[in-house]
Every structure is written in C-alpha cells, then in structure tokens.
Amino acid sequence: MKRRLAITCGDVAGIGPEVALKAAIAATRLCEPVLVGPRAVWEREAKKLRRGGALVACAVDIAAPVLPKLGADSATGGAIAIAAIDWAIDAAKRGDVHGVVTAPVSKTSLHLAGYAYPGQTEYFAEQCGGARVAMMLAGPSLRVVLVSTHLALKDAIATLSAERVYEIASIAHHGLKALLGKKPRLALAALNPHAGEGGKFGDEEARILAPAVARARAAKIDLNGPFPADTLFWYARQGRYDAVLVLYHDQGLIPLKVLDFDEGVNVTLGLPIVRTSPDHGTAFDIAGKGKARATSMLAAIRLALSVSSKGA
C-alpha cells in the first residue's frame, strides 16, 4: 500500500495551496496525499489547474467562514495554517499518516493570530512534547543543519554555546544516520573569518566551538572543524561531508539556495513524527497568479517518503 502523507495548506493568502496541490497531483504515483485545508481553497486551485478534483474530494476540510485576501498577512491566514498543522500532527501521532509536509506560512500572520513562534519548526517541537529538534535544509548539492534558526545575528552570536553546538551535532548525527543508513560525517562552520586566525579575529572558535567538537568526538559523533566558512561549503559539495553545521540562519541558507534554490527542502530532525517543508516562503507577490513552481514542494514530499520509510 502507498504511504499516506498529510499536506497542509500553509498560509492560504500565499502560494501554499497552489504548490501543495500541484505537488500532490505529481506525487499520486508515489504516495497517497491527504490535503489539509479549507475545501474552498483547494477547489479554487483545482479549478485553475483544471485538475486535482479527486484529491480535493478526499481533502480534510479546515473550517474557514471567511478566507483572507490573497497576498497579505492576516490573523485569519495564520489561524487557518495552525489549524491545518494541528490536524496533521494529530494524524501523524495516531499513525493515520506516515508523515507531514507543510506548505509555507507567514510568521507575521502566525503572530497576528496569537501564535508567538519563530516558525513552524518550533511549533512542531512544542506540540510533540517539547522535542529537542534541529532544522536541516537539504538539496541535491548540500545539507546544512542550523545551530540557531530565526534569530537576529547579534542574538545568534550572543546565545552561541558549546552545549548548543553539541546538542545539534547529536540530533544531526542520529537523524542522518537513520536517513543515510551509515554514520554521517559532519563538519562545523567557524563563526569568524579564517576560523578566527588563531584568535586575531575572535576567540569563539577556541572558546566555544573546539570544546563542542571534542565532546562530540568523545561521544563517537564524527564532527570535524571548526572550518572557515568561505571554503567549507565547497568541500561539502564535493562529498567530503554529509552535512555542515552552521551557526546562524544565513550562513547556511545562502550557499544552499545558491546551489539548490528550487529543490531545497526543510526537514525537522529529532521529532517523533516525520515533517518536511519546501525551502521557500509564501511569495505573496505572485499568490493567485498561477506562476508558482512546485519543485521544492515535490522534493519535500519525496524526502518525507524517504525519511518515513527508514524510520528517521
């Protein structure tokens, strides 16, 4: 039997429903997609595509008396997105679906709806019993695992600690070992230029990062570095490492999106359920215009199937 995946609508004012339906149609030969969101939204997208009627008929309808205006943040958009996520999480916990693929949400809409989370990853972690998680972005060329996610750069640096680096290395090690079927080789990106140049450009490498690497290696985690970030990603792309641990959001997202913009996937490591998401936002500027590419969403579905089949 085909594996079942819950595919949420995301923020219905953005391109989430469009890419979700397009990807679900393309994925029907691989799995049984379960669309989760207001039926009126799925019917709207199916009418534009002139396809997807069977999937829409089987969709889980999330009640939404009024739909938000396309292309704008709103409390309604945030509330619908969370309601769809809640249904999908509960279904995954019960075993009714094998994984969850989430369409993009607007963090502003979530906040307007009263959900003060930096993003979906943190919400999933809380709803799964406060699981300790790591955000991994994966593409055909590169995998990056974030030590800090949606923080201002000054806050990401201020909160950097050897304990946090070790924790993320441990989560990445176990998650990738299950996914790849082998012990992963991990690399740690340095914070400062030239990895601090022996303390000339900062001491975080010696004071924080090197102790984290030593602790990880003592725990049989193959973590290497810290290495200067300006060359590390080239080596990782050549296959020397299975993933790079990065210390702040843009340190990892810039190289990944340069290399794999259309095929990047966000996977949450450390959850008791499978969750993936496309590596792009709501794209309010093209919402409703039929221009959105579903490449990343389809890649997220494929990765969710791969992870769920291996028990990662």
**What is the CATH number for 118?**
3.40.718.10
**CA 50, 22, 96, 180: dihedral to nearest 10 degrees?**
160
Angstrom distance (rounded) from CA 198 to CA 267: 35
Are 1 and 124 part of one and the same domain?
Answer: yes
SS3 at position 195: helix
For residue 150, give the nearest of 108, 211, 203 by alpha carbon: 108
Same domain, 175 and 260: yes
Same domain, 302 and 263: no
Backbone phi, then psi, for 146, in 5-degree steps? -90, 125
Within this chain, do residues 84 and 155 fall inside the same structural domain, yes or no?
A: no
Domain region containing 212: 132-270
pLDDT at site 125 = 95
| Whole-number pLDDT of residue 277 | 97
Say whether both 36 and 97 belong to one domain.
yes
In the chain, the number of structural domains is 2
Query: What is the distance, to the nearest Å, from the Cα of residue 84 to the centroid of all Cα atoms in its chain?
Result: 17
pLDDT for position 1: 75
Q: Do residues 254 and 293 share a domain?
A: no
Per-position pLDDT tens, the chain of length 312: 789 999 999 999 999 999 999 999 999 999 999 999 999 999 999 999 999 999 999 999 999 989 999 999 999 999 999 999 999 999 999 999 999 999 999 999 999 999 988 889 999 999 999 999 999 999 999 999 999 998 999 999 999 999 999 999 999 999 999 889 999 999 999 999 999 999 999 999 999 999 999 999 999 999 999 999 999 999 999 999 999 999 999 999 999 999 999 899 999 999 999 999 999 999 999 999 999 999 999 999 999 999 988 754
Same domain, 71 and 82: yes
DSSP state of 192: S
Give residue 311's pLDDT: 58
Residue 298: CB partners within 8 Å, gap ≥ 6? 22, 23, 26, 27
Exposure letters 235-261 (e unless 16+ CB within 10 A, then b): ebeeeebbbbbbbbbebbbebbbeebe
HEC assignment per residue over 232-293: HHHHHHCCCCCEEEECCHHHHHHHHHHHHCCCCEEEEECCCCCEEEECCCCCHHHCCCCCCC
92 contacts 308 by C-beta, under 8 angstroms: no
- Identify whether residues 108 and 198 lie together within a single domain: no
Same-domain status, 295 and 216: no
State whether 90 and 219 are in the same domain.
no
Same domain? For 239 and 301 the reply is no
150 in the Ramachandran plot: left (φ > 0), alpha (ψ -120 to 50) or beta? beta
pLDDT at 77: 97
Question: In terms of domains, do 121 and 232 share one?
Answer: no
Per-residue model confidence (pLDDT) at position 123: 95
